[in-house]
């Protein structure tokens, strides 16, 4: 994992505003919908993630933009928007977090997932939900705990149902690995933030 990406978690120059990030969130989800419309004509689902297949590697990046039908994209768009807004409102490094969750979740699914064509932003959604919950646990700050309680209350059932094994037509392994990736990124962020705080307050 690149050191510069990790350092972006705690780089004081990486300052975002909710207004600027809100526009980025709208653009990001808008691109997902544009790809969904184009997919009706261009069969873009072929670029989904296929575990342990070189052709399927492109799906690590492409998977969050690809959805099978209207129900699929709607079920991902709402929680994705909500968790991204929470992230942007509470973090100066929200972009780095999204990238890391996407790469870790996609890479993990490519290595350990079932042999199938995996599409959808649900891995990222589950990663963001887990990130918010575990950030509250690891960081123990009022804001992160409040967000963790809110997200946990709203999506605890979704997490539990989504990772139940062997669901037909559901990428439960993608959900599980996405949640693990989100928890791991929360741990990394908390550790780096703590290390930075200690270095700023050290004497000498």
136 lies in some domain: yes
pLDDT at 198: 56
pLDDT at 3: 44
1 lies in some domain: no
Tell me 49's DSSP state: B
Which of 127, 130, 122, 108 lies closest to 178, judged by CA? Answer: 127
Rounded Cα–Cα distance for residues 119 and 36 (Å): 11
Rounded Cα–Cα distance for residues 103 and 81 (Å): 19
164 lies in some domain: yes
pLDDT at 167: 78
**pTM, 2 dp:** 0.89
11 lies in some domain: no
Rounded Cα–Cα distance for residues 45 and 47 (Å): 5
pLDDT at 105: 98
Which sign does the torsion angle of CA 14, 79, 127, 151 carry?
positive
Identify the CATH number of the domain in which residue 128 sits.
Answer: 1.20.1540.10
72 lies in some domain: yes
* pLDDT per residue rounded down to tens, the chain (204 residues): 444 554 554 444 455 567 778 899 999 999 999 999 999 999 999 999 999 999 999 999 999 999 999 999 999 999 999 999 999 988 878 889 999 999 999 999 999 999 999 999 999 999 999 999 999 999 989 999 999 999 999 999 999 999 988 778 889 999 999 999 999 999 999 988 765 555 555 554
Residues of the domain holding 93? 16-197
6 lies in some domain: no
CA distances from 157 to 72, 121, 126, 154, 171 (A): 18, 18, 12, 8, 16
34 lies in some domain: yes
pLDDT at 13: 45
Count of structural domains, the chain: 1
46 lies in some domain: yes
Which of 121, 109, 111, 120 lies closest to 176, judged by CA? Answer: 109
Residue 72: both structure tokens together: 């699929």
């Amino acid at each position: 994992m690149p050191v510069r990406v990790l350092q972006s978690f705690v780089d004081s120059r990486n300052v975002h505003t909710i207004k600027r990030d809100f526009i980025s969130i709208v653009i990001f989800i808008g691109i997902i919908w544009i790809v969904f419309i184009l997919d009706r004509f261009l069969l873009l689902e072929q670029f989904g993630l296929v575990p342990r297949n070189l052709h399927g590697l492109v799906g690590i990046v492409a998977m969050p933009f690809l959805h099978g039908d209207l129900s699929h994209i709607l079920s991902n768009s709402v929680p994705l928007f909500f968790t991204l807004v929470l992230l942007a409102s509470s973090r100066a490094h929200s972009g780095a977090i999204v990238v890391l969750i996407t790469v870790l979740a996609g890479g993990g699914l490519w290595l350990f997932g079932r042999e199938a064509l995996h599409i959808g932003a649900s891995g990222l959604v589950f990663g963001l939900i887990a990130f918010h919950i575990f950030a509250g646990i690891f960081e123990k700050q009022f804001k992160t705990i409040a967000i963790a309680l809110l997200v946990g209350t709203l999506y605890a059932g979704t997490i539990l149902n989504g990772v139940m094994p062997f669901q037909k037509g559901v990428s439960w392994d993608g959900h599980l690995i996405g949640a693990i990736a989100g928890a791991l990124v929360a741990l990394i962020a908390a550790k780096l933030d703590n290390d930075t705080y200690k270095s700023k307050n050290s004497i000498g």
